[in-house]
Amino acid sequence: MRFLYVAHRYHTNQVPIMKGLTEHGHEVCFISHYQGKIEDYTYVTPVVAGYSGLFDAVNWFYVHILHRHNSKACDMRLKYGFPSVFRIRKLVSSFRPDVMIIRERSIYSIFTCLACRGLNIPMILYNQSPLWEDEIKNDLPHRIVRGLLPRVRITPVLGTPGEGKVKEKDALFVPFVMEPKVSPDQKKWFQDGGIHILCVGKYEKRKNIRMLLEVFSALADDYDISLTVTGECADSFEKEYKKEQEEFILQHGLGERVTLLENVAHDQMEELYSRADLFVLPSTREPASVSQLEAMSFSLPVICSDTNGTSCYVQDGDSGFLFHDNSREDLQRVMLTCVSDRDRLKEMGRKGFKEIKDNCKFEIYYKKILECMEKVILYD
């Protein structure tokens, strides 16, 4: 089959899917809005379609003039960016896909769908809104947007089913694809005698790296622990945030126990995961991080916020711990529980690996996509 993806960027979480598709003999084209700082093109090299010339001009003025001191100004393109309709249609027509998977309910996606009308291509919407939501908005603007986009939606975020929760009729939970890397029997624990903690997250305030450093500092006097933080550090705002954390490390005498890395290539991350004994992701407002699934594939126990979209892959107290979002005290509580019980770390790592092995197979993803295609064809 011929699979075509359209998304804002070629994210790391797409790599295992691309690997599975190409290794099973399928053809894949990935169209992205822009190119990220750290991307892995081992299996697929995306085509950067970019934005229309009109939007590029407006966006430049918005980012560099009106909001030049705002670190998030560039995110305007995610919400309001739109492509050249002619370029998108040409790219799609030349590839002739059997199915299109389009990321997000956005203006870019609406333009893409409109550009491809009449090509008779089954389209599936992919976003990271939970399968089970608090409400489904049915006001006129939301109904119009849904009418302009694919009816069938997939998401890797389960949410929390239960009383008061609702699910769209044509929404399906399709788990992230993650290949098992290091089994519990192969895992080498506590390689330097101590417990090594790993955190993966862009250098921005939302990732709560400072909170993690504060908790680490509080535990460091009583436990043989070390910490490595790695993440994207591309613009001036991210570099300034990283510098602030380096100053904190220096002021608290943590230089020999804490390492801050930046822009580590995807193929070099395996060594970091292999050396770690515990994975901690302290970020807030995290839609659906894939790094904790990567950690679990290396038999690492995971700590993340209870509002993290992919917290549904972590069994609290079993394969890791969930802490109250933005709570330094609760993060310290669960980290203390982990670093004070090495046998429990090993057991949690074993259970996390089993979760990846059993429930994040490429075969599950592929089967779900075929189910979605049948739904789309039935509706059409």
Would you give per-residue pLDDT tens digits along the chain (380 residues)? 999 999 999 988 899 999 999 999 999 999 999 998 778 899 999 999 999 999 999 999 998 898 888 877 888 898 899 999 999 999 999 999 999 999 999 999 999 999 998 899 999 999 999 999 988 888 999 999 999 999 999 999 999 888 889 999 999 999 999 999 999 999 999 999 999 999 999 999 999 999 999 999 999 999 999 999 999 888 888 999 999 999 999 999 999 999 999 999 888 899 999 999 999 999 998 989 999 999 999 999 999 999 999 999 999 999 999 999 999 999 999 999 999 999 999 999 999 999 999 999 999 999 999 999 999 987 76
The number of residues making up the chain comes to 380
| Dist CA 62 CA 76 (whole Å) | 9
d(CA 272, CA 9): 24
How many CB atoms within 10 Å of residue 351? 17
Residue 312 tokens read as: 């549904």
The answer to whether 225 and 198 have CB atoms below 8 angstroms apart is no
Q: Residue 154 carries which side chain, given as an amino acid letter?
A: I
Cα 306 versus chain centre, distance: 16
Task: Quote the radius of gyration of the chain (alpha carbons, Å).
Answer: 22
Closest among 125, 122, 131, 195 to 375, alpha carbons compared: 122
pLDDT of residue 380: 65
Tell me what pLDDT residue 71 has.
Answer: 77
Burial class (CB in 10 A: 0-12, 13-18, 19+), 72: exposed
| 310: nearest Cα among 213, 181, 178, 202 | 178
Separation CA 177–CA 171 (nearest Å): 18
- Reading the block at residue 129, the tokens are 């809104």
The reported pLDDT for the residue numbered 266 is 80
Nearest Cα to Cα of residue 122 among 84, 81, 152, 88: 152
pLDDT at 72: 78
- The amino acid sitting at 175 is P
In the chain, the domains with their CATH numbers are 2-49+84-177+361-379 (3.40.50.2000), 195-359 (3.40.50.2000)
Residue reference for tokens 């107290």:
317
3-state secondary structure the chain: CEEEEEECCCCHHHHHHHHHHHHCCCEEEEEECCCCCCCCCCCCCCEECCCCHHHHHHHHHHHHHHCCCCCCHHHHHHHHCCCCHHHHHHHHHHHCCCEEEEECCCHHHHHHHHHCCCCCCCEEEECCCCCEECCCCCCHHHHHHHHHCCCCEEECCCECCCCCCECCCCEEECCCCCCCCCCCCCCCCCCCCCEEEEEECCCCHHHCHHHHHHHHHHHHCCCCEEEEEEECCCCHHHHHHHHHHHHHHHHCCCCCCEEEEECCCHHHHHHHHHHCCEEEECCCCCCCCCHHHHHHHCCCCEEEECCCHHHHHCCECCCEEEECCCCHHHHHHHHHHHHCCHHHHHHHHHHHHHHHHHHCCHHHHHHHHHHHHHHHHHHC
